[in-house]
Chains A and B, each alone.
Chain A
C-alpha cells in the first residue's frame, strides 16, 4: 500500500486535494450556506487595495481630463472673447446706424411738416478755435446755403450759418457766447433774449412783473431775423426775481453741440407758437366726479353757458316771483320789466363790471391770478358764486331763487362783499 502511494504520490495528492475541495463544495451546496468568512477575509483584504487603485485612477483620469478640458476651455475662452469683441463692435456699429436712421427719419418728418424750406445737412467737423462754438456742415453755396441762415433740428435750434463755402458751411452754435436769440414764452408770450454765454443758458430782458413759471416752454420769437418764429428752444428750469429783470435759467431742448444731422432753413416761415396745454391736462388725469342724485330741482341748477341761458333764468326767476306758470292759459301775465335782485345789484355796477360778472359766471379759473384779476375788476361775485348759489337753491327749494353770480347775504363773509345790497324778497 505504501509502495503504491509512493509510486503514485502525485496522483494521490491530486486526488486528495480535489476530493477535499469537492467535499467542501458539496457541504456548501448541501447546507445551502455560503462560507462567508473566507469571502469576508478576501473582500476585506482586496477592496482597500481596489479602493486605493480606484482613487488613484479617478484622480489621475480626472486630472488628465481637467487638464485637457482646461486646455480646451482656454481655447474656447479665447475664441469667445474674440467673438464677444467682434460682436460688441458690430453692436456699436449697428446702434450708430440705427441712431442715424432714426435721426434721418425724424429730420425727414420734421422737414415735411415744417412750413419752412429746409435742407438736411450733416455735421462734419468742429471749429479749430476752442473758445468758439462752431461746427462745419456738409452743405455750402452749391446747396443754396447762405450766410445768416438758421440751423435747427426737430428738437430745437442749433445755430446760424456764419460762413459759406462751396461745399461746406460754418455754423455758429447758440451756445457760443456771442450768440443771442430772441425767444418767447409759450403761455404768456413774454419776450426775452437767449444767452448761453456763461456756460448755462439763460433768458434775459424779462421784467420781474412778468408772469413766468418754471417748466414753461420758450420758442423762437422771430425778432432776431435769424430763426423763424415758433421753433422750440427749451424749458425754463428756474425762475428767480433779480435786479429789475428776472433770472431765468433755460434748459435747451436740442443738443447743439451733439447734433449730427441738422436742417438748414433756406426759406423761413413764421409759425404760431403752439398753445399751452390746459392745466387740467397737465394734472393727473382722473375720471369726472359721478353725477349727484338727480332731482328735478338739481336739474335746474345747471350753470348758464350762453346769454340765452341767462335770459331764460331771468325770466324763470321773474315768473316764480310773480307766481306765473309758463304755458298755462289761466296764469297771469308777468311783468318782465321788474328787476330781479341780481339785476338790482348789477345795475349799480359799471358795464364793464357787468361783463366781468358774466365772465365770472363762466368756469372759474383755478389759478389765483384769475381770482385776483376779478377782484381788481370789482367783480361782486367771486369765482365760487355760481356754485354757492346753486347750493342755496338746492337746499332751500322753496326760498328765493338767487340769480347766478349774486352774493348771498348769509354766506357772505365780513368783507367788502357785505356791502352788497340785500336780495329782494319775493313779493
Chain B
C-alpha cells in the first residue's frame, strides 16, 4: 500500500505541468500551421523567399529536441502531409509526408547520439537535412511519379546554407518557448 502510494506520488504530474504540456501541444500545432501557411504565403509577402523551409526546420527541431524517433516521425508525417495538402494538384499527397517522416526519424535518431545543444551541430544538421530533404524529394518525383524535374546541387547547397543560418535564431527562439521541454 505504501509502495503504491509512493509510486503514484512519484509518477503523478502536477496540475500546472499538465496544463503547460497541453499549452505546448497547442503552441506546437499553431507553430506548425504558421510554418506551413508561411511557406504557402511568405513568398507573396517577401519576394524570393521560396527557399525558406520553415516546416522542415520545425521538424528537425522537434526531432532534435524530442529525441523520440516515433514521435518525431509522426510529427514529420503530420507536417509533410499538411504541406502536401497545399501543394499543387499534380503532386500526389504523401511526397512531403514521406520525406519529412524520414527527416523527423533521422533527426531524432541523431539527437540520441550527438549533443544537439550546440549551435554549430544544429546548423550542420539543418544543412544536411535540407539537402537530404530536397534530394530525396527529387528522387521520389523522378522514381515514383516519373516527373523529370531539374535538380541544381549548387542552388540546393546555397539554400541549405541559408536555411541553416536561419535555423540558429529560430531554434534559439523555440528553446526559449521550451516547446520540446517535455522530452
Interfacial residues, chain A to chain B (CB-CB below 8 A): 9-10, 13-14, 17-18, 21-22, 24-26, 28-29, 34-35, 38-39, 41-43, 46, 49-50, 53-54, 57
Shortest C-beta distance, A22 to chain B (Å), equals: 7
The reply to whether the CB of B125 lies closer than 8 angstroms to some CB of chain A is: no
B55 interfacial by beta-carbon distance below 8 Å? no
Smallest distance from the beta carbon of B139 to chain A beta carbons, Å?
A: 13
Contact check: which of A25, A54, A57 meets B98 at CB < 8 Å? A25
Give the residue name and chain of the B residue nearest to A50 (CB): B41
Rounded to whole angstroms, the CA-CA distance of A305 and B2 in the bound complex is: 160
Which residues on the A side are within 8 Å of B70 (C-beta)?
A: 9-10, 13
In the assembled complex, 19 residue pairs joining A and B whose CB atoms fall closer than 8 Å, in A order, are: A10-B69, A10-B70, A10-B73, A13-B69, A13-B73, A14-B101, A21-B81, A22-B98, A25-B94, A26-B144, A28-B93, A29-B92, A29-B144, A46-B86, A49-B37, A50-B41, A53-B45, A54-B41, A57-B45
Question: A28–B45 contact, CB under 8 A?
Answer: no
Q: Does B52 contact A (CB under 8 A)?
A: no
Given the known interface contacts A43-B86, A46-B37, A57-B45, the answer about A25 and B69 at a Cβ–Cβ threshold of 8 Å is no
From residue B1, how far is it (CB to closest CB) to chain A in Å?
Answer: 32
List 11 extra interface pairs beyond A25-B98, A28-B92, A39-B89, CB under 8 A: A14-B69, A14-B101, A17-B73, A17-B77, A17-B101, A18-B98, A21-B81, A21-B97, A21-B98, A42-B82, A46-B40
CB distance from A58 to the nearest CB of B (A): 11
Can you list the 6 inter-chain pairs with the closest CB atoms, starting with the nearest? A42-B85, A28-B92, A25-B94, A10-B69, A21-B94, A21-B98
Cα A34 to Cα B84 with chains together (Å): 12
> Which of A9, A18, A53 is in CB contact (< 8 Å) with B101?
A18
Task: Name the CB-closest residue of B to A12.
Answer: B70
User: Secondary structure of the B side of the interface?
Assistant: helix
| Chain A hits for B27, CB < 8 A | none
B131 at the interface (CB under 8 A from A): no
Structural contact, A50 and B98, CB atoms closer than 8 A: no
B138, CB-defined interface residue at 8 Å: no
Consensus secondary structure, chain A interface = helix
Q: Are A24 and B94 in contact (CB under 8 A)?
A: yes
In the complex, the answer to whether A53 meets B41 with C-beta atoms within 8 Å is yes
**Given A39-B85, A57-B45: A24 and B144 within 8 A (CB)?**
no
A22, B69: Cα distance in complex, Å: 19
Q: Which among B36, B41, B70, B92 has the greatest number of chain A C-beta atoms within 10 A? A: B92
B92: chain A residues at CB < 8 Å are 25, 28-29, 34-35
Interface centre among A25, A26, A49, A54 (most CB of B within 10 A): A25
- Whether A21 contacts B40 by the Cβ 8 Å rule is no
Q: Which residues of B contact A26 (CB under 8 A)?
A: 144
> A-facing mask of B4-42, CB < 8 A → 1, else 0?
000000000000000000000000000000001100110
Cβ of B95 within 8 Å of any chain A Cβ, yes or no, is yes
CB neighbours of A46 from chain B (8 A) = 36-37, 40, 86
The answer to whether B145 has its CB under 8 Å from any CB of chain A is: yes
